[in-house]
Amino acid sequence: MIYLDHNGTTPLIGEVRRAMQPFMYDEFGNPSSKTTLGRKAHEAVEMARAQVASALGARPGEIVFTSGGTESNNSVVLGLGARFKGSKNHIVTTAVEHPAIIEPCLEWMRRGGEVSFVPVDETGRVDADAVMAAVGPETFLVTVMHANNETGTLMPVAEIGRQCREREILFHTDAAQSVGKVHVKVAELFVDFLSVAGHKLYAPKGVGALYVREGIEMPRLMFGAAQESGRRAGTENVIFDVGLGAACEAAARELDRPAPRLREWRDRLQSLLQEQVPGLRLFGHSEYRLPNTLFVGFPEVAGDDVLAAAPEIFASTGAACHSDQVKLSHVLAAMGVSREEGKGAVRLTLGRLTTEGQIGIAAEMLVSAYRDALQIAGKQ
């Protein structure tokens, strides 16, 4: 197996498993309990909160544990919608956001609100001035992802955040794909809210975090007891919170080491493929891109067929092909990619499971699979 789908999900690293293990067995207390077991659980959750905060350059009190990036994003979009209902009704976002932003925005529209989906250029990058041009007197939120999950393209979040701060407009970024891959510091990005997804940075699925800048009113969507400083009711998921904390601490400690290596290996994989696949197309920005992400289009074939011919490689495609019908991802469509160009899209994302020796092997397998797919399609 050569696992090249780290933007899809990541395995639990050793630090995370070891941190979680005691709370899976002997340390089973309820953090709200005053017993010894409860106090230990409470201390573990607060330690995890501090670890997440440290990785983001935030204060522990600004971190809310959630069930993942989707909940974090929904809490911001629909929570703020509830706060501003009756006074402001407009949200600005981009056309290439993750469904965890697009869908709550569409729900906001169904509730009578307005949303501007700002287009991107052919590299999948949005222009900061175009975002701000969409802002009007009714705008209560701007939300722009930090890095796109398909292309890896990095958005000009800091510039957008700076302008939003100057105009006193609340700003959120979905950083699910960037935390753990590049430096993400809330002060440098001028964000009021930032979403984290645990399973994208070697923590468990089903846990995430939401950064809420101190002093910002954040209406709650879940009602019950006073957990998470009254911002999210429900007994804390101690095991997973501890795992996320350990993952964030590991990411902050080791960020400067793997990123240059992954960038080098990614670029080598890209070069090897380009040498053997005439017309291979890069989707995304060549410079402003996550160091681990390579999103390419194999000409004249379907991406599904390429991966089917290379079953040892675990990766993702950017288009669904059924009979003669090609359905592009909304990201490729927003970039102006044609169905013919986009049907061969394959996303290859490196990470901790990747070794240097796998790069050449993966390239050989993909080239061979591409040629097999060409023959099956009658193109060779």
Residue type, 144: V
Cβ-contact 6, 351 below 8 angstroms: yes
Which region, left, alpha or beta, applies to residue 35 given φ > 0 means left and ψ of -120 to 50 means alpha? beta
Question: How many other CB atoms are there within 10 angstroms of residue 151's CB atom?
Answer: 30
Is 321 a known active-site residue?
Answer: yes
The one catalytic residue in 105, 164, 248, 321 is 321
Token pair 């501090």 in the structure block, residue: 50
Cβ-contact 168, 141 below 8 angstroms: no
Q: Which residues contact 151 (CB under 8 A, 6 or more apart)?
A: 96, 123, 124, 283, 284, 285, 289, 293, 295, 331, 335
Helix (H) or strand (E) holding 90: strand 90-94
Nearest to 131 by CA among 106, 160, 170: 160
Could you give the 3-state DSSP secondary structure of residue 318?
A: coil
Strand pairing class (63-66; 208-212) = antiparallel
Cβ-contact 104, 48 below 8 angstroms: no
Question: What tokens appear for 121 in the block?
Answer: 């250029």
Distance CA 312, CA 310 (A): 6
Cβ-contact 24, 239 below 8 angstroms: yes
Residues serving a catalytic function are 321
